[in-house]
Amino acid sequence: MAFPASPQTPFSYGCPSACQLRRLWVALAVAATLCLVGPAALAAEPRLPKAIEKALARAQVPASAVTLLVVDVGGQRPPRLSHRAGEAMNPASVIKLVTTYAALDVLGPDFLWKTHVTMDGSIQGGLLDGNMVVRGGGDPKLVVERLQAMLTQVQASGVRAIRGDIVLDRSAFGDLTANAAEFDGEPLRPYNTQPDALLINFKTLVMTFTPDLASGRTLVRTEPPMAGVQVDDSVLLSRTSFCGDWRSDLRASVNNPNRVQFLGNYASGCGERVWPSAYVDPTSFAARAIEGSWRLLGGLLTGQVREATAPELAMLRSRGTLSGQTSPLRLESPSLPLLDIVRDVNKFSNNVMAQHLFLSLGLHGKLGQTQAGTFEAGRAAVQAWWLKTLPAAVPPALDNGSGLSRTGRISARSLAALLQHAAKSTLADALADSLPLVGVDGSMRERAKAATGRAQIKTGSLRDVSAVAGYAQGASGSRYIVIGIVNHPNASAARPALNTLIEWAVQDRK
């Protein structure tokens, strides 16, 4: 896959001509270079360290497909290593550094998403005569436990039966209809889950398999409970100590939205395993999960769980039902704080949560105005934030904020400018502590063992892309920013070279 040599991001407000933009970007690039590392950066780039050269050679990746940068956090000295640092590259999930830092800065670490429940009707003796409205606010982590806690609160507050419907309002985010298979043809992979203003359990069925030797079966537990979906509660147990490709051995049939079957077997030697699988009909997931949980908790429902229509939402707004002004009962379920969400996004590279941050910047963060959350609005909000916060650094080319993209681009130099700015801000610990600790947790648990505990690194990986970026503590006491991006068909084979880069940085090698 070929990558352009310069960013392709258009400005979506007050656009000058394309020619003016190109001249502006050249000027910004020079300014960024001087701001980042001073005039010494204009000198010839040093040769790559031999250990990194050898690792790239073993991966059969040419130096022309790589960008590397190691520079002190303060930016007062020339880089220890700078190789093609100004080239715009696809960073994969490393772009989450832009999304999460912008969200921390614009929305604040304590920002909360809120899911509202209001009643369009009257309540008497535990019976709602009318509809219950569940309004999504974009909570990125409304998992089954928190959904059921919210519904339990509704029942404890006096609504245990509904003579009507449960109506879902997802209008906080704009129309995000997309084909989950579009990116890589794997629609049931949880990383391909699409964002949703009422995102329940990441639209993912979590199936737990537990061998039961006494019955000769493996018991299957599924969350969340899904209305109208029959899931086999057990699968044949194979009494063998060898645990091979257990998912394939199950011969799971998951393409019928009303039935999940297991036609194979499960080896006893596998012990208890958990399999998260994106649901085959994501548009109906929230309705099924809410109805299933409501009934599981003892709630009664005479109608159905359905999507609100646009005219219905307009009517509910005009009557003051959505705001709670005319609702006999109004409940608010807050999300986890944004800081906790950022940790999940960066430690475990959660794509849909990153996209929710990006959409929320468009919804809440653009010039203080509230509008529908769309990717276009998110891009405009982050671009505006970047030009205000990092005016001397070339802006990134943004897509959806998660890195699950073939078009996202950023240079190592611009990434370093962002990380330097963050390190000097009041959000320094919030961002740094959200990154995987090398050799300890997250996506860096098994990597760069020689740097264990001494670097906080965000990783990125796609077909033809492998990347790392973050902070490293050198043996000398110096703190560095470390960035490495590979764009090449053999990028996955170059991960050892990026591990070597991190180890080289913490060991202060020459």
For residue range 407-460, list pLDDT tens digits in order.
999 999 999 999 999 999 999 999 999 999 999 999 999 999 999 999 999 999
What was the pLDDT predicted at 192?
78
Render 249-294 in DSSP notation, one character per residue.
Answer: HHTEEEEETTEEEE-SEEEGGG-SEEEEEE-S-GGGHHHHHHHHHH
What was the pLDDT predicted at 41?
42
pLDDT reading at 3 higher than 60: no
Contact between 66 and 490 under an 8 Å Cβ cutoff? The reply is no
- pTM for this prediction: 0.88
- Over residues 152-166, the mean pLDDT reads 98
Which CATH number fits the domain 48-110+339-506, given the four candidates 3.40.30.10, 3.90.1150.10, 3.40.710.10, 3.40.50.12280?
Answer: 3.40.710.10
Q: pLDDT band for position 38 (50/70/90)?
A: very low
- Among 144-148, 352-356, 506-510, whose mean pLDDT is lowest? 506-510
Boundaries of CATH 3.50.80.20 in the chain? Answer: 113-335
Between the CA of residue 57 and those of 172, 290, 490, 494, what are the distances in Å? 49, 53, 11, 9
Q: pLDDT band for position 366 (50/70/90)?
A: low
Contact between 94 and 13 under an 8 Å Cβ cutoff? The reply is no
198: alpha, beta or left, given left = phi > 0 and alpha = psi -120 to 50? beta
What was the pLDDT predicted at 21?
37
Q: What radius of gyration, in Å, describes the C-alpha atoms of the chain? A: 25
- Structurally, at CATH architecture level, domain 113-335 sits in 3-Layer(bba) Sandwich (3.50)
- Over residues 111-119, the mean pLDDT reads 98
pLDDT reading at 4 higher than 80: no
Q: Could you tell me where the beta strands, DSSP code E, fall in 80-203?
A: 81-83, 88-89, 114-124, 127-135, 161-163, 166-169
pLDDT reading at 165 higher than 90: yes
pLDDT reading at 34 higher than 60: no
Q: pLDDT band for position 175 (50/70/90)?
A: confident
Pick from 366, 442, 324, 395: which is nearest to 107 by CA? Answer: 366
Measured at the alpha carbon of residue 295, what is the angle toward residues 293 and 299, in degrees to the nearest 5? Answer: 115
pLDDT reading at 238 higher than 50: yes
Instruction: Report the distance separating Cα 12 and Cα 460, nearest Å.
Output: 27
Instruction: Report the distance separating Cα 62 and Cα 84, nearest Å.
Output: 12
Boundaries of CATH 3.40.710.10 in the chain? Answer: 48-110+339-506
Tokens of 503: 């180890």
What was the pLDDT predicted at 28?
40
